[in-house]
Amino acid sequence: MAVPLPEQSMHGQWSSRWTFILAATGAAVGLGNIWKFPYLTGENGGSAFVLVYIVCVAALGIPLMMSEILLGRRGRSTPINSMCVLSAETKTSQWWQIIGWSGTVAGMLILSYYSVIGGWTLAYIFKSGMGTFSGASGEIAASTFSEFVGSPGTLFLWHTIFMVITMSIVAGGVQGGLEKAVQYLMPTLFFLLLVMVGYSMTTGFFGKGLAFLFTPDFSKLSGASMLTAMGQAFFSLSLGMGTIMIYGSYVPKGTSIASTSVAIALADTGVALLAGMAIFPIVFANGMEPGSGPGLIFQTLPVAFGNMTGGIAFGSLFFILLLVAAWTSSISLIEPLVTWLIETYGMSRITASLCSGLATWLLGLGTVFSFNIWKEVTLFDLNFFELLDFLTSNIMLPLGGILIAVFAGWLMKVELTKSELNIQNPTAYLIWQTLVRYIAPVAVFIVLLKSVGIL
């Protein structure tokens, strides 16, 4: 007989299914959608990459998201404590708490450097608005960026501002902080994206941008780019970070996990595609290379905006859009740690937010310095920032995803997963079970092997 579990998290719950969709989409939508997705698409042949990405979201991302929400709602606690409860319920080893620990620690580590990049975005709003890039060449944009990241004091300031605002939102709680934030930030993000797409329509290269995104050329698709698409689909949905699990613990009992996961995946993918529709016409209009890599946002696009009519205003809008995306993700990354401190040590929400925020901010100083005074300090040929990024993205998140799939697909009783998922159609349940038992673990394991250089 199943162990009776709480019907609601002690931290509260979302006021509606729609609010949860906004919050989880906000957790998933981040710099990865608006910064990373476009340049990966550019580097990997455009639309063929996009098609593989969408298939991977459907076959890999959605089943894993359903599994992570399932674990969170069933446990009704922090990822660590939820896995403790669920391990007891399934009569398996308490070592399965590693899922919760891995996600919680990964979220903190990611936020420590995510905050630094978010600070760049905050600074670039002002740089763009003050006309720094007006009429600028590629060399000027590159030197501006190099000078910016080369100043530890400047990065320190913007990293601090970003973290203070993030933790102020988290300190407000589920409905008072997180909910209010996403109710304003997510509509703002979609509105700004649509404004940017509208602006791209005036460049004369909108059709070329659409063709690049939506006309497949499979001759440009390699095995490596397919694996990249699979990895991006997994990471874009914020899986394995503990964020989806803790947000899942706030989901009301009657909410459909399946339909909600599909809605989140559709919104997340929609943001990535809209970002491509906004960015590539601007890149093509300025004769720039769409596969210009990570520098696309902070070096290539500022030049494009600086040399276009209305570029100062729309360049500033673009970086505001990036900032909103960064905030919606950052508040979710630290939530598992904050709630764990509350549950474990009886801290108030404000105290837990202050402690976790301060620890994360201090860790972020390592990333600040890795672009300047610690630039030459390396371990395994990686500086501090690169090491954190590799550890989280290439090892912790894939392992977390595999363990979530194994636990939900193999160790939880079928009647429990059926009850929580509330999938009425037997065929639909069988599809989820097959994907999460067999396809997802193997696919994520392949991504893991590629990430560590074995494939």
Within-domain flag for 6: no
pLDDT at 33: 83
pLDDT at 216: 82
In sequence order, which ranges of 90-179 are alpha helices (DSSP H)? 98-129, 138-149, 152-170
Q: How far is residue 424's CA from residue 148's CA, in Å, rounded to a whole number?
A: 55
Q: Is residue 1 pLDDT above 50, yes or no? A: no
Within-domain flag for 220: yes
Q: Is residue 278 pLDDT above 60, yes or no? A: yes
pTM as predicted? 0.91
Q: What b/e string do you get for 74-103 counting C-beta neighbours within 10 Å, with b at 16 or more?
A: bbbbbbbbbbbbbbebbeeeeebbebbbbb
- Is residue 195 within 8 A of residue 316, CB to CB? The reply is no
Is residue 382 helix, strand or coil? strand
Within-domain flag for 372: yes
Count of domains in the chain?
1
- Is residue 361 within 8 A of residue 160, CB to CB? The reply is yes
Within-domain flag for 216: yes
- Is residue 240 within 8 A of residue 102, CB to CB? The reply is yes
Q: How confident is the model at residue 298 (pLDDT cuts 50, 70, 90)?
A: confident
258's tokens: 């399946």
* Average pLDDT for 422-451: 92
Residue 148's domain comprises 17-451
Within-domain flag for 1: no
CATH number at residue 70: 1.10.4160
**What single letter denotes the amino acid at residue 341?**
L
In sign, the C-alpha dihedral spanning 143, 146, 152, 156 is positive
pLDDT at 388: 93
Q: Is residue 293 pLDDT above 80, yes or no? A: no
pLDDT at 260: 93
* Dihedral class, residue 26 (left if φ above 0, else alpha if ψ from -120 to 50, else beta): alpha
Within-domain flag for 354: yes
Percent of the chain with pLDDT strictly greater than 90: 54
392's tokens: 């989280």
Bridge partner residues of 382 (DSSP): 379
Q: What's the mean pLDDT when you consider all of the chain?
A: 89
* Average pLDDT for 115-141: 91
DSSP line for 386-439: HHHHIIIIIIIHHHHHHHHHHIIIIIS-HHHHHHHHT---HHHHHHHHHIIIII
Task: Map tokens 């608006």 to a residue.
Answer: 34
Q: Is residue 6 pLDDT above 70, yes or no? A: no
Within-domain flag for 325: yes
Within-domain flag for 12: no
Q: Is residue 305 pLDDT above 90, yes or no? A: no
